Amino acid sequence: MGFWSYVIAKEPNRFPIAYNNRGLAFQTMGQFGRAIQDYTTAITLNPVEYLAYRSRGIAYYEMGQLDRAIEDFTAAIMLRPTRADLYASRGLVFEAMGQFDNAMEDLNKAITLDPSSVDAYLNRGVTFEHMNQLDRAVEDYDKTITLNPSDFLAYTNRGIAFNKMGRVEKAIEDFDKALSLNPSFVKAYIERGDLYQKLGKTELAMRDNQKACSLGSEEGCEALRTYGKQ
C-alpha cells in the first residue's frame, strides 16, 4: 500500500490504477469504506476503465450492498462485454439476491465465453443447489474440481449437496478433503459437525464444532453450548 500511496501523493490525478490498487489493499484489510473511496476516485479519473468498477462491485458485494454491486458489474460488462469473470461475478450477486434466472443467464454466458472458468461453474453449482437441482449442482462442482483440484470450497459445496441427497458417506469424504486442503475452513467443520450430530456421532460433532469455535465461529461455539445443556 505504501508504494501506491506514494504515487498518489506525487501525482494525485495521473494514475487511476494507483487508486484501484490501493483500494485492493484496503479491501484485503477489511477497510471497505476506504477501498470504495479509492475505487470511486479511480472511476472519476478514468470512467472507461472497467477494473475499478469490478473492484468496487466486489467490495459492495462483500458489504452486502447487492444492488450497488449489480450496478458496478453491469457498468464493467458494458465496457468489457467479453470478460467471463464479470458475468460470473454478477451471476453470484444475482444468486445471493434470489434472482436465479438472472444468475443462470450470467453464469451460462460466462461459461460460453470461457469454458474453463472455475468461478462460473462453482457459482452455477450454488445456483442449481438453491434451485434444488442437486444432480446438476454436483455436476458443476465436479467440473470445478476437475479444473481446480485444490478448490476446497467446491469440495465443501459438493459435500453439502451430497448430504441433501442422502449420500452421507460421500458428503463426509468431501468435507474431509476440503479440510485437508484448508484446515482452517470453518464452514467445512460446521457442515461436517452437523452431519455427525445427525448420525448420532456426538463426540465427533463436538470435536468439529470445538475446532470451528476456536477459529472464531459463533455458530460452532453455540453448538458447543447446546451440547453442554444436554
Q: What average pLDDT does this structure show over 141-152?
A: 98
Cβ contacts of 156 within 8 Å, gap of 6 or more: 174, 175, 178, 185, 187, 188, 191
Residue whose C-alpha cell reads 467440473 in the numeric block: 143
Among candidate residues 184, 180, 118, the one with its CA nearest the CA of residue 154: 118
Contact present, 218 and 186 (Cβ < 8 Å): no
Residue 211 has pLDDT above 90, yes or no: yes
What single string gives the DSSP state of each residue in 90-138?
Answer: HHHHHHHTT-HHHHHHHHHHHHHH-TT-HHHHHHHHHHHHHTT-HHHHH
Cβ contacts of 100 within 8 Å, gap of 6 or more: 94, 127, 130, 131
* Domains in the chain: boundaries: 156-230
- DSSP helix/strand/coil, 19: helix
Please tell me the predicted confidence (pLDDT) of residue 10: 63
Using CA atoms, how far apart are residues 216 and 207, in angstroms rounded to an integer?
15
Residue 75 has pLDDT above 70, yes or no: yes
- Residue 7's pLDDT band (cuts 50, 70, 90): low
Residue whose C-alpha cell reads 472519476 in the numeric block: 44
> What's the whole-number average pLDDT of the chain?
93
Using CA atoms, how far apart are residues 97 and 223, in angstroms rounded to an integer?
28
Give, in order, the Cα–Cα distances in Å from 144 to each of 9, 35, 117.
Answer: 43, 30, 8
pLDDT tens-place string over residues 127-141: 999 999 999 999 999
Contact present, 159 and 172 (Cβ < 8 Å): yes
Alpha carbon 48 to chain centroid distance? Answer: 26
Please tell me the predicted confidence (pLDDT) of residue 226: 80
Please tell me the predicted confidence (pLDDT) of residue 184: 97
Residue 96 has pLDDT above 70, yes or no: yes
Please tell me the predicted confidence (pLDDT) of residue 121: 98
pLDDT tens-place string over residues 148-205: 999 999 999 999 999 999 999 999 999 999 999 999 999 999 999 999 999 999 999 9
Residue 230 has pLDDT above 90, yes or no: no
Domain 156-230 has CATH 3.40.1190.20: no
pLDDT tens-place string over residues 33-64: 999 999 999 999 999 989 999 999 999 999 99
pLDDT tens-place string over residues 216-225: 999 999 988 8
pLDDT tens-place string over residues 10-39: 666 667 778 888 889 999 899 999 999 999
Residue 3 has pLDDT above 90, yes or no: no
Please tell me the predicted confidence (pLDDT) of residue 12: 64
